[in-house]
Amino acid sequence: MVRSEKVIIFNGPKEEFNKYIPEYYIQNGNNYSLTQLVNLSESERKTFLFKIEGYEPNREVELPTNIDLLYISKNEYSGVTEAVINNFVNYIAKYNISKMVIQNPPIEIINDLKRQFDSKNIHIHNFKYKNIDLGLIKNFKKQAPSVILGQDKALMKVSQALLIQKKLNQGNKPIVIMLYGPSGVGKTETGRLITKLLGEEMFYCQFSMFQSNAHYNYLYGDTVQLPSLAKDLLNRDSNIIFLDEFDKANAFAYSALYQLFDTGEFEDKNFHVDLKNTVIICTSNYENQDKILEHLGAPMFFRINCFIKYDDLSDEVKIKLIEKYYSKLVNQLSQQEQKIINESEIKDKYINSANKFSNARQIENFLRNDIARKLVETIE
């Protein structure tokens, strides 16, 4: 539906914004992005300077006085100067703009627009992400044991956590789940499967990298032009937020997330994002909750709703993984290459040594390298 308001603030991912704005294009009209408008203004300034200095440019630059649609995508904030951001309304005031559609604007621009325009002329459009429903939980229970091997108890608890989000959650708060246990036993794959069943792409953040001042600025915000967590979350594709190796971050990272875990609101110095109804999955390689508490500290630890332990893989599960990855890798080869690999008895060697492996990632990497080594040996 085409809105009648003068200003439309679109909160959501770039792909959906690109689907949204064509509704407002005026056929044969003056439709401009912010970048195009800034470039026109720069050309006008250069023309003016040329004339002062006695030079005549090859052509006059004509700035439009009437603009049917000004649309601004989230990428454009990085390409304009701080002066444009800090004085946004003054910058556009010289134009007669019929409609503005703005994706994920900084707080400063939102406040500037609210001071300039009556509230009835501003509409905020929040993209509706898919939420956990009973159909997804049913499909997860059915599919997960064949995708994530050897973690049936953990997967049942994940189903319980998803049901809490759907049925037993107060005020649409996020549910925060900690998956803990050895590396490479299915924690990340769990998040991917949930997101796949939603038909979306998981928002992934590697928290072990949050150690330096640069990452402090990423969490708390720097200039509008630089990346930030809030900025990236505004542009996320899914309500599944995956914070990998959460326990390995510097302590400054946790205090930034208190409000997010409590209420589903996250804000840095430039951007505000609503994360209600999200599923936030954190991971840790610690073997028990006592060690997680010791590292995270009580304020963060007790903001986590569900702790779910992933076990070491049994030899039986390791053999199933060997067969699974062997089949997947060999099926990518030509018939002649498959014959070479099958005759090499690589799979039997791995099955007989299953107890020497510790996780799924290790098994797949070793298999891939051994298969590649055997094929290279046949090249003459």
Residue 221, helix vs strand vs coil: coil
Burial class from Cβ neighbours inside 10 Å (0-12, 13-18, 19+) for residue 204 reads: middle
- In angstroms, the first-to-last Cα distance of the chain is 64
Boundary of a domain, candidates 309, 326, 359 = 309
Predicted confidence band at 50 (pLDDT cuts at 50, 70, 90)?
Answer: very low
User: Are 285 and 356 contained in the same domain?
Assistant: no
| Cα-to-chain-centroid distance, residue 300 | 22
Collapse the DSSP code of 187 into the 3-class scheme (helix H, G, I; strand E, B; otherwise coil) and give the result: helix
Bridge partners (DSSP) listed for residue 122: 7
**Is 154 part of any domain?**
yes
Percentage of the chain lying above the pLDDT 90 cut: 71
At residue 190, the 3 state secondary structure works out as helix
Q: Are residues 201 and 339 in the same domain?
A: no
Tokens 């006085």 correspond to: 65
Q: What are the pLDDT digits (tens) for 100-154?
A: 999 999 999 999 999 999 999 999 999 999 999 999 999 999 999 999 999 999 9
Q: What is the CATH number of the domain that holds 154?
A: 3.40.50.300
Residue 76 makes CB contacts below 8 A (sequence gap 6+) with 33, 34, 35
pLDDT tens-digit map of 219-237: 999 889 889 999 999 999 9
Joined together, the tokens standing for residue 41 give 């203004």
User: Are 287 and 326 in the same domain?
Assistant: no
Residue 49: pLDDT over 80: no
Residue in this structure with the two tokens 């939980």, named with its chain if needed: 137
The H-assigned helical ranges of the chain are 14-20, 34-52, 82-86, 88-92, 107-116, 134-147, 152-167, 187-198, 213-220, 229-234, 252-255, 258-263, 289-296, 298-301, 315-330, 335-344, 346-352, 360-377
Residue pair 325/359 in contact by the 8 Å Cβ criterion: no
Tell me if 183 is assigned to some domain.
yes
For the segment 58-65, the average pLDDT, to the nearest whole number, is: 57
Half-sphere exposure of 327 (CA within 13 A, CB side): 6
> Quick one: 213 and 303 in the same domain?
yes
- Closest by CA to 263, choosing from 168, 176, 166, 173, is 173
- Backbone angles phi and psi of 324, in degrees to 5: -65, -50
What pLDDT, on the 0 to 100 scale, is given for residue 380? Answer: 72
Q: How many domains does the chain have?
A: 3
pLDDT above 90 for 35: no
What pLDDT, on a 0 to 100 scale, did the predictor assign at position 188? 95
329, 233: one domain = no
- CA-wise closest residue to 351 among 328, 325, 333: 325
Whether 262 maps to a domain, the answer reads: yes
Q: In this structure, are 298 and 325 located in the same domain?
A: no
pLDDT mean over 77-94: 83
Question: Do 270 and 322 lie in a common domain?
Answer: no
User: Are residues 281 and 336 part of one domain?
Assistant: no
Last residue of a domain, one of 287, 309, 331: 309
Question: Is 17 part of any domain?
Answer: yes
Domain that holds residue 290: 134-309
Whether 40 is covered by a domain: the verdict is yes
Do 241 and 257 lie in one domain? The reply is: yes
CA angle 167, 173, 175 (to 5 degrees): 70
Last residue of a domain, one of 284, 309, 334: 309
Q: For helices 315-330 and 335-344, what crossing angle results, to 10°?
A: 150
Q: Determine, yes or no, domain membership for 1.
A: no
Q: Is residue 370 part of a domain?
A: yes
Same domain (yes/no): 144, 44: no
Closest CA to 179 of 199, 205, 204, 151: 151
Verify that 88 and 147 share a domain, yes or no.
Answer: no
Cα 346 from chain centre: 38
Q: Is the pLDDT of residue 30 over 70?
A: yes
Residue 58 has pLDDT above 70, yes or no: no
Same domain, 199 and 113: no
Measured between alpha carbons, how far is 108 from 269 in angstroms, rounded to an integer? 9
Res. 51: pLDDT tops 50? no
pTM above the 0.85 mark? yes
Which residue's entry shows tokens 């700035």?
63
Does the pLDDT value for residue 45 go beyond 80? no
Amino acid found at 105: P
Residues in the chain: 380
Residue 2 lies in a domain: no
Beta bridge partners of 94: none
